[in-house]
Amino acid sequence: MFTLAHLSDIHLSPMPRARRRELMSKRMLGYVNWHRGRKYVHRREILDMITRDIVEQKPDHIAVTGDLVNLGLPEEFLRAAEWLHHLGPPSKVTAIPGNHDAYVTLHPEAGTRHWRPYMEANAAGERLFPTPPARFPFVRRFGDVALIALSSAIPTMPFIAAGKIGTAQRALLANALDRLKQANLFRVVLIHHPPLRAQAGWHRGLRDAGRFARVLKQHGAELVLHGHNHAQTVHELETATGPAFVVGVPSASEAVEGRIPAARYNQYSIARNGDGWRVEMVGRSVAASPEHVWESERRVLRER
Ligand SMILES: [Fe+2]
Ligand SMILES: [Fe+2]
Q: CB within 5 A of ion ligand 2: which residues?
A: 67, 98-99, 228
CA of 11 to the centre of ligand 2 (A): 9
CA of 33 to the centre of ligand 2 (A): 15
State yes or no: cis peptide before 90, omega within 30 of 0: no
CA of 11 to the centre of ligand 1 (A): 7
CA of 271 to the centre of ligand 2 (A): 30
CA of 151 to the centre of ligand 1 (A): 14
Cα–Cα distance for residue pair 110/291, rounded to 1 Å: 36
Burial of 293 (0-12, 13-18, 19+ CB in 10 A): buried
Residue 237 · residue 213 · CB < 8 Å? yes
**Ligand number, closest to the Cα atom of 8:** 1
State whether residue 216 is helix, strand or coil: helix
CA of 176 to the centre of ligand 1 (A): 27
CA of 103 to the centre of ligand 2 (A): 10
**Ligand number, closest to the Cα atom of 204:** 2
Q: Which amino acid is at 15?
A: M
Q: What is the pLDDT of residue 259?
A: 56
| Strand arrangement of the beta sheet that strand 276-287 belongs to | 93-96, 61-65, 2-7, 264-273, 276-287, 292-302
CA of 251 to the centre of ligand 2 (A): 10
CA of 192 to the centre of ligand 1 (A): 9
Cα–Cα distance for residue pair 289/28, rounded to 1 Å: 35
CA of 8 to the centre of ligand 1 (A): 8
**Ligand number, closest to the Cα atom of 162:** 2
Q: Mean pLDDT by 10-residue block, N- to C-terminus, for the chain (304 residues)?
A: 98 88 79 80 93 98 96 91 97 96 65 93 98 96 98 84 95 98 98 95 94 98 97 97 97 78 92 96 90 94 95
CA of 228 to the centre of ligand 2 (A): 4
- H or E stretch covering 41: helix 39-41
**Ligand number, closest to the Cα atom of 41:** 1
Q: What is the pLDDT of residue 258?
A: 62
CA atoms within 13 A on the CB side of 13: 22
**Ligand number, closest to the Cα atom of 9:** 1
CA of 228 to the centre of ligand 1 (A): 4
Nearest Cα residue to 120 out of 104, 109, 133: 133
